[in-house]
Each structure stands twice: as C-alpha cells, then as structure tokens.
Chain A
Amino acid sequence: MKADAVRGHLDGLLLAVLEDGPLHGYAIIVAVQQRSGGALDLRTGTTYPALNRLERLGLLRSSWQSVGERRRRCYELTDAGRRSLATERQAWHDFTAAIGSVLNPTPPRAAT
C-alpha cells in the first residue's frame, strides 16, 4: 500500500500499536510493519513528527527509558489516546462497511 494512502491513517496506526504498552520510536515503526505483514509502505521518518504531534494533543505521553544499553524516549497512550483510538476504530469500521456494501452488494432475497 502506497505511503500517501497510509498517511491519512497514521494517527490510528500509531495509537493502535501502543495499545498494549509503551514503545520507543523505532519499535513503533517495526510494530506497524509487523502487524501489516509488511504491506504498508511507511516512510518511517515521518513517524517521529507524528508522535510529537500526538503528544502535543495529549493523546500520548513520553518518558526516557533504558532499552538495552541505550536510553530511548518511549511513548504510551493517555486515557484521551485510548478514547481517540476507539473512535478511530469505529470510524474505520463504519467506512469499510459502507464501501464494502457498495463494492460487494449482497444479492436481494427472492420474494416469498
């Protein structure tokens, strides 16, 4: 999937991979790629300003943590971030259901 198509859903993707616990920047990128089975063509560098923005909006918070021998800034969801993720999921579900019903219409039932 092209990077331009992914960009519109980047917030939801980042929030979703942080649902299970805090991760640092590169681990977030790896988690997105692994969950998508490598199908998402993400320009990984664009993830960092997006994380910065989500933190500014109060959807994430960050702290320095030791990762192996290195110190890395790790991000985790705030309560507002969890609520936002739930909203993103519902919106995505509604969107795919609407598109799906047009692309794959169910055949009308025969009148009894």
Chain B
Amino acid sequence: MITAADPIEEYVTALAAAVHGPARAKARLIGEIRDGLTDATAARTSEGEPGEAATRAAVREFGTIDDLIPGCQAELTIAQTRHTARLVILTSAALLAYWQLAWITHDTDPAGLPRIVQLFGINMTVLAGAAALLATTTLATTGVLARWLPTPPRLPLVVAWTGTITSAAMGIVTVTLVTASAFGASRLLMMLGGALAAAAHPVLAASARACRRCAQLPGATSALGPSQH
C-alpha cells in the first residue's frame, strides 16, 4: 500500500537539502524546526483539528522553504566560518609550536637544520601568525562583538581563502620536512613535523572548501550583522 509522505518530513528534508553548513550545527537547526512543526501539529490536533489537516496547516504557518533559507543559511555560513577559523588557529598554533621546538633542538643539535629549512620556517611562522590573527579576529567579530559590529559580508570568503592558503602551506611544510629528513637533518623531528602537517592539510582544506561553498550560496550573508532591522 502506498502511503502519502509525511508533510513534516518532506518539509525538513527539502530544507536540509537547500542549506549547507557544519553537520552538527545543521542537525541542531533542522532538528529544532522539526520539533517546532511537531509541536504546532500537536497543538492543533489537541484543539480537535484532524491529523493531516493539522500537519499541513502547521507547515503552511511555518512559511515556505524560500522564506527560511536566508536566515538558516546565514547562520550555517557563520557556523562554517567559525569552524574554519578554529581549525586555522589550531593549525597555526601547532605550526608555531613546532618551529619553536625545531629552533630549540637546533641550538643543541650539532647536525642542525639546513639553512633553507630555517628560512622556510621563518616564512611559515609569519604566514601562520597572520592567519591566526585573522582567524581570532573572525571568532571575536562573529561572536558577542557582532552585537555592535556588523559582520562584513565577505568575511566568510576571506576566512575560506585563509583556510585554503594555510592548508596549502601545510602541504608545502610536509614536503619540505620529509625532504629535509631524507638528507639526515634531525630526522625524527622533521618526520614528526611532516606527519602533523600532513594530517592538518586535508582537514583544513575540506573545511575551507565547505566555507567557500556556504559563502557563495544565495542568502548566505543576507542576515548577517547585529540584527535584521
């Protein structure tokens, strides 16, 4: 027997397909909307309205999917931006800590670091510092500071590209350190750094790609800022 699809499930499935963002944030938002529709239906049926009519009325009252997309996508874009910013901070902090360790080891290791690796390390430190600064500013300005400061509409895209550049840097770090270790320079330390950078590269790249996708969706930045006034 063919049964009609549940209008609530149809609604939330269509909404879930239309918006993009971090899985956890999206599941929470969609879950709350599903709960709200269930509550609205229950309120109507408790007043004597027949089940299917109550469900359809509740869905109608919620607004069309197009009504909901801008607000939902704006929040999910910010969530993806903040997620990417956190990864950039974590990766940059690990990179800075690693170079610090390499420098300390270099002072006590007669084999030392090759000159090219030292120069490379300085450049990567500057890049990581700049990326971490931008990411920290992003977390602040999309959190409580957003009460007073409007969020620049292009911020998600800027963070996405910062994530991509940091991720690419991790790829270059991996190749450099593995090459340096092959020439016998502080082999264990070089291999450890290479492994860390290799692990960070795909995670950060995926988050940056998702952030760029969110930022380019229609309605992604339409509801940013201190309020929707």
Contact = CB atoms under 8 A, between A and B. Distances in A.
Contacts of A57: 143-144, 146-147, 226
A88 to B, nearest CB: 9
A27 B32 CA distance: 12
Contacts of A59: 147
Contact of B146 (A25, A26, A56): A56
Contacts of B61: 44
Interface residues of B, number: 29
B71 to A, nearest CB: 4
B68 interface: yes
Interface residues of A, number: 32
Interface in B43-78: 43, 61-63, 67-68, 71-72, 74-75, 78
By CB atoms of chain A within 10 A, which of B33, B143, B226, B227 has the most?
A: B227
A2 B201 CA distance: 49
B146 to A, nearest CB: 6
Contacts of A26: 35-36, 39-40, 43
B228 interface: yes
B29 interface: yes
Nearest to B30: A48
B67 A48 contact: no
A7 B228 contact: yes
A31 to B, nearest CB: 13
Nearest to B226: A57
A70 B32 CA distance: 12
A50 B228 CA distance: 9
Given A11-B227, A57-B146, A58-B144, A45 B67 contact: yes
A52 interface: yes
B24 interface: no
B33 A48 contact: yes
A46 B68 CA distance: 6
A51 B35 CA distance: 14
B147 A84 contact: yes
Contacts of B144: 57-58, 80
A44 B147 contact: no
A52 B31 CA distance: 13
B71 A50 contact: yes
A7 B39 CA distance: 23
Contacts of B142: 56
A8 interface: yes
Interface of A: 3, 7-11, 24-27, 29-30, 43-53, 56-59, 70, 72-73, 80, 84
9 contacts: A8-B229, A24-B35, A24-B39, A44-B40, A45-B33, A45-B36, A46-B63, A48-B36, A56-B75
